[in-house]
Structure 1
Amino acid sequence: MLAFTTFFLLAGAVLARVVDDRDLPVTRNGSRLYLNNKPWTAAGANVYWLGLDENIVPPWTTSNPKPDPFYAPLNASYPTKGRITEVMSTLKVMGARTIRSQTMGVSVGNPLSIMPELGVVNEKAFESLDWTVSEAKKAGLRIFAPLTDNYDYYHGGKFVFLRWRGIDIGSTGSVDPQVQEFYNNRTIIDDFKNYIKVLLTHRNQYTNLTYAEDPTIFAYETGNELGGPTFGDKNVPVAWTQEITEYIKKLAPTKLTVDGTYGINDTHLNISSVDIYSDHFYPMDIDKLSKGVASVAAVNKVYFAAEYGWTPQSQTKTKSDQFFAWIESQQNKTKPIIAGDHFWSLFTHNVPDCSNFVDHNDGFTLQYGNPKNPANYTDQIAKIRQHLFKMQGQLVSSELPAAPCPGS
């Protein structure tokens, strides 16, 4: 009897130790991220279109006289499940661990949005988000998402919340000072918090977890490139950032929070509910990067280079080799501050068409495996892949292995 008891106790102890890292949350201790009590880096790609796209017009055919859901004024449509599945396999081949995606958090103001009108919830809009989270988990990838946008793009943002309350102002360049009402008007703040609640309490049909519960979404960002009336002014009130990050943690206690201000606002550094600060790099700039990291180091928090342009026009100040080497070297420190970086931005095939790639018009489209890529682009993509694997502690060659396309 004693032998049987001992056997079952030992078997139970072994089973208790077999834990799938994908079921565990990413945590922060000081300036470092951890997964299953091991140091963890967060490097990968921006894939902004996972929840809602602007680059594809669904085909009209005899058998499909009306395209799949499509909002022509903003060219908005849902990405196919195949595109989402392919991008996950591509990210794994590239060595990524993390995905930053605007439309996994920002989806307001058009008929295909999560919230097409104030207080109205479109459950159909969650289909692509649910599938993304499920496929990311299968691939062992993690997601973080901004919750609003500084600009008036197809997926919505702060200007939608302003319009819903009768404030209709311009959204490019220097804009009306009333834009600050997004941060200061109690009604609009509550509208935004209600949207956050709708998003985080949604239960995924594929995982049966709410977004608040699911560790695949490891962090939420207060917004994308947030600022005030003048581009780059970092004019985001401390009180607003604190209230939003505290609210995220109230709804989702295991989530990390990212300050979405465009750049490091020193007045935000002592907000206890912020875990991560970030900046974007167009062009790559080690001086700007090292200065930001030093500021964040002073408060023992984490830093992300959450966007960088990867093409030649983004290497006029610092070459990518230097930029990557500087980030990699920081990982060898006892207390690294910068946890990772994310190139802008990844596109794959127009699945189920596995012959043609989806294009975007901003000049930073990275199409992994496209035989039409010029030689200098292919070389740069190889460097990015080597960097992403090195952030995981692995050395790989400059070869670019094929990523599977799922077709139909």
Structure 2
Amino acid sequence: MLPLMVATLLLSSASALSIRCPHGVADLSITRNGSSLYLDGKRWTASGANVYWLGLDENVIPPVGEPFYAPYKASYPTKGRITEVMTTLNVMGARTIRSQTMGVSVGNPLSVMPELGRVNEEAFESMDWTVYQARKYGIRIFAPFTDNYDYYHGGKFVFLRWRGIDIKNGLTGTRDPKVQEFYTNRTIIDDFKNYIKIMMTHRNPYTNLTYAEDPTIFAYETGNELGGPKFGDKDVPVAWTREITEYIKKLGPTKLAVDGTYGINSAHLNISSVDIFSDHFYPMDVNKLSKGVEAVGAVDKVYFAAEYGWTPQSQTISSIDQFFAWIEEQQKTSKPIIAGDHFWSLFMHNVPDCSAFVDHDDGFTLQYGNPKNPTNYTAQISKIQQHLFKMQGKTVGAAMPPAPCLGKSEDLVLGLGLECGIRGKREVV
């Protein structure tokens, strides 16, 4: 009797969440026609959130006995934390997640590739669950395959070190010209392409689909904020960007490819295998945004504002109201070009503890519904929620409905796959 009651409650909860995955839609790919994205023949927008830690976290010390790499404070997020992200973004009106650790996972013992050529299958579990839950809640994912910085989850400096090029100061940037060997050294390029192949051909046991096959992951990005020896120089060779984006499409013919250069490199605009260009906004800057959109629109491609800081320190040039208003006005035109924007970044509860929020130290942590949020933060979060719904063509008020925290293990096991007709592995109630 208890399992039936729980299943009934879950179905009621799903109804309250307005889970957006009618039968068949989860199996449809996002497509591009010129400067617009489409789903099932209708123009589709891709606004949402950055949730960088879904594949590998650095913010929570797990219980004793759970996988943990102390030098980087690295651990796998719980299934409950991942699922709560989906319920929260559903309530907020988001359609997409951008997540570094769903694509970048090299160089520490908990990574997909701890050492060159060695695959750690355990590292896929949190990624698999993320894709499964995103599919369940009607949310799409895009992820970069490497990082410009030497973070806990790895990036281009790891690939360089694996081939004997040990460059320091990877976190703050470097002026060492040898950093360009990531883009020009044939051995390193092939190492990177092999890593991409391992990621995209991995088969998710929850869906019975490879990442290349699953339209939940609608796009891959060549990297996060890529550049050369000088921060912001956009010095990413055309040949490398073309080769990597063509390879992504070879492995996943329905995938869209995002140029991961930090900013719009005009030399890349005519690369036919690039579908989407993006920029990041710290601070928000409508003038910079409009110039980028104009440049991308001139070659009939799609533009993302793939990161923006939402707190007061990111509103010194343009306010959040001005930033959102400009994007929303573009949606009313026949050729919007900008198809999405993504706040940095979402953190919720330390599930299964639904009483404690997870903190991060970069000053941009968004904790939806945290009663300890300052009043001005709550007001900004409400504006983000209203904007996300407007990007869907819907209007909502300033009220912020609660997002369920599914903290018990039975919440995560019972009822999975009931809402969306997910094929592959099913739990039986």
Tell whether the structures are fold-level matches, with TM greater than 0.5: yes
Task: Tell me what 1:104 maps to.
Answer: 102
Task: Tell me what 2:141 maps to.
Answer: 143
Amino acid aligned to 2:45: T
Deviations 1:60-82 (Å, cap 9, x if unpaired)? Answer: 3xxxxx3x100001000000000
RMSD (CA atoms) = 0.7
Task: Tell me what 1:314 maps to.
Answer: 314
Name the CA distance, whole Å, in 2 between partners of 1:83 and 1:344: 17
Task: Tell me what 2:53 maps to.
Answer: 49
Secondary structure at 1:103's aligned position in 2?
Answer: helix
Name the CA distance, whole Å, in 1 between partners of 2:306 and 2:122: 29
What is the CA-CA distance between 1:20 and the residue it aligns to? 1.9
Amino acid aligned to 2:147: D
Task: Tell me what 1:7 maps to.
Answer: none
What is the CA-CA distance between 1:174 and the residue it aligns to? 3.2
Amino acid aligned to 2:140: R
Name the CA distance, whole Å, in 1 between partners of 2:383 and 2:25: 28
Contact 1:169 1:175 in 2 (8 A): no
Residue segments in structure 2 that go unaligned for 5+ positions in a row: 1-21, 409-429
Deviations 1:33-73 (Å, cap 9, x if unpaired)? Answer: 0000000000000000000000001123xxxxx3x100001
Aligned mate of 2:44, from 24, 40, 47: 40
Q: 1:180 to 1:144 in 2, by over 3 A?
A: same
1:188 and 2:188 correspond: yes
Name the CA distance, whole Å, in 1 between partners of 2:396 and 2:23: 28
Deviations 1:89-142 (Å, cap 9, x if unpaired)? Answer: 000000000000000000000000000000000000000000000000000000
Task: Tell me what 1:213 maps to.
Answer: 213
Task: Tell me what 2:132 maps to.
Answer: 134
Secondary structure at 2:353's aligned position in 1?
Answer: coil
Task: Tell me what 2:411 maps to.
Answer: none
Provide TM-score, normalisation by structure 2: 0.89
Task: Tell me what 1:228 maps to.
Answer: 228
Amino acid aligned to 1:45: A
Name the CA distance, whole Å, in 2 between partners of 1:36 and 1:49: 30
Amino acid aligned to 2:29: P
Name the CA distance, whole Å, in 2 between partners of 1:207 and 1:174: 41
Name the CA distance, whole Å, in 2 between partners of 1:320 and 1:340: 15
Contact 1:147 1:222 in 2 (8 A): yes
What is the CA-CA distance between 1:168 and the residue it aligns to? 0.1
Secondary structure at 1:304's aligned position in 2?
Answer: strand
Name the CA distance, whole Å, in 2 between partners of 1:192 and 1:360: 29
Task: Tell me what 1:244 maps to.
Answer: 244
TM alignment of 1:3-402, pairs within 5 A: 20-60=24-64, 66=65, 68-170=66-168, 171=170, 172-402=172-402
Secondary structure at 1:355's aligned position in 2?
Answer: strand
Secondary structure at 2:101's aligned position in 1?
Answer: helix
Secondary structure at 2:203's aligned position in 1?
Answer: coil
Name the CA distance, whole Å, in 2 between partners of 1:337 and 1:29: 11
Name the CA distance, whole Å, in 2 between partners of 1:389 and 1:80: 28
What is the CA-CA distance between 1:363 and the residue it aligns to? 0.2
What is the CA-CA distance between 1:19 and the residue it aligns to? 5.3
Name the CA distance, whole Å, in 1 between partners of 2:407 and 2:42: 37
Name the CA distance, whole Å, in 2 between partners of 1:322 and 1:129: 35
Amino acid aligned to 1:197: K
Task: Tell me what 2:415 maps to.
Answer: none
Contact 1:183 1:237 in 2 (8 A): yes
Amino acid aligned to 1:120: R
Secondary structure at 1:128's aligned position in 2?
Answer: helix
Secondary structure at 1:96's aligned position in 2?
Answer: coil
Name the CA distance, whole Å, in 1 between partners of 2:89 and 2:291: 29
Contact 2:149 2:173 in 1 (8 A): no
Amino acid aligned to 2:250: K
Amino acid aligned to 1:244: I
More RCO (CA 8 Å, sep 6+):
2
Residue segments in structure 1 that go unaligned for 5+ positions in a row: 1-17, 61-65
Paired positions, count: 385
Structure 1: which 4+ aligned runs deviate by more than 2 Å?
A: 172-175
Deviations 1:294-333 (Å, cap 9, x if unpaired)? Answer: 0001100000000000000100100001100100111111
Name the CA distance, whole Å, in 1 between partners of 2:31 and 2:23: 16
Secondary structure at 2:279's aligned position in 1?
Answer: strand
Secondary structure at 1:356's aligned position in 2?
Answer: strand
Contact 1:47 1:346 in 2 (8 A): yes
Name the CA distance, whole Å, in 2 between partners of 1:111 and 1:148: 17
Secondary structure at 1:347's aligned position in 2?
Answer: coil
What is the CA-CA distance between 1:22 and the residue it aligns to? 1.3
Deviations 1:259-311 (Å, cap 9, x if unpaired)? Answer: 00000000000000000000000000000000000000110000000000000
Name the CA distance, whole Å, in 2 between partners of 1:322 and 1:22: 34
Greater mean deviation of Cα atoms: 165-174 or 341-350? 165-174
Name the CA distance, whole Å, in 1 between partners of 2:407 and 2:79: 10
What is the CA-CA distance between 1:175 and the residue it aligns to? 2.9
Is the radius of gyration larger for structure 1 or structure 2?
Answer: 1
Name the CA distance, whole Å, in 1 between partners of 2:396 and 2:298: 34
Name the CA distance, whole Å, in 2 between partners of 1:207 and 1:165: 36
Percent of counterpart pairs with the same letter?
79
Name the CA distance, whole Å, in 2 between partners of 1:45 and 1:143: 10
Name the CA distance, whole Å, in 2 between partners of 1:74 and 1:100: 22
Secondary structure at 2:219's aligned position in 1?
Answer: strand
Name the CA distance, whole Å, in 1 between partners of 2:198 and 2:69: 22
Name the CA distance, whole Å, in 2 between partners of 1:225 and 1:134: 27
What is the CA-CA distance between 1:251 and the residue it aligns to? 0.3
